Amino acid sequence: MRKKIVAGNWKMNKNLEEGHQLTSEVVNMVKDEVTSAVQVVLCTPFIHLNSISKLLAGSKNVMLGAQNCSEHASGAYTGETSVSMLKSVGTQFVIIGHSERREYFGETDALFAKKVDAVLAAGMTPIYCCGEKLEVREANNHIKLVTAQVSEALFHLSAEALQKVVIAYEPVWAIGTGKTASSAQAQEMHAEIRAHLAGKYGKNVAEEITIQYGGSVKPDNAVEIFAQPDVDGGLIGGASLKSRDFVDIVKAMK
């Protein structure tokens, strides 16, 4: 049985006090209300990781994630954060390949392959994001593009390493736009990604990989999207900034 994981991506939001408050609310609501085995991850800004880690210490199923990392181990890379730094403050997950890193910071699949290696070598879990822009979908090239993003960043891994990766399918046209993919569109792409993994690693390995959906997931659309057989959780942006909405989304993952 593959793991169900709902992760909040706070992006560049919340000062420290606001971040602490949001974390405490989420931890308490999850403790009181979530009965399923779903794992919850809070991907906070780097600067909050150390102190939020302490707030999560007593919580079994709320874990800590970062939104990016350097591909380098250490050295003269001003402004960068290494995987060993992240690990040393209790980080367990790292988002790699988010469309905003691709779009605004020029990051590429070749770079993501190195970052995925760094995260795995540090014993953390990469959440590797893939997804097409609207014009790619309109030209009917979305499956080709997304499966290529998956092969370029992940197919150098051994089967054993791949099984430690979480994939997040996030159609770029659905991120922060209020337009979500239909549950059928999400299921179609998730099944294509899984088939692509099976083609390289075999069906048994592909069946073990958690594939999250991301892009304008809200409490009122989460139930239908999460009910799809190949959707194993969500990567939640805007709605993760409100504890009530986020925990309602977590509860939609059965």
Binders in 167-226 for ligand PGA, by CB under 6 A? 170, 175-176, 214-217
By CB under 6 A, residue 68 contacts ligand PGA: no
DSSP assignment letter at 240: G
Tell me which amino acid residue 178 is.
G
Residue 93, φ and ψ in degrees, nearest 5: -125, 150
The CA distance from 215 to 103, in Å, is 16
Of all residues in this chain, which one has the CB nearest to ligand PGA in the complex?
Answer: 237
By CB under 6 A, residue 131 contacts ligand PGA: no
By CB under 6 A, residue 235 contacts ligand PGA: yes
Strand (E) or helix (H) holding 62:
strand 62-66
Least spacing, CB of residue 206 vs ligand PGA, in Å: 23
Nearer to ligand PGA, 71 or 170 (CB): 170
Q: Among 170, 190, 192, 196, which one carries the catalytic annotation?
A: 170
Nearer to ligand PGA, 19 or 238 (CB): 238
Report in angstroms the alpha-carbon separations of 26 from 54, 249, 253.
14, 12, 16
Contact present, 149 and 109 (Cβ < 8 Å): yes
Tell me which amino acid residue 64 is.
L
Nearer to ligand PGA, 172 or 206 (CB): 172
Instruction: List residues binding ligand PGA (CB under 6 A).
Output: 9, 170, 175-176, 214-217, 235-239
- Positions marked catalytic: 98, 170
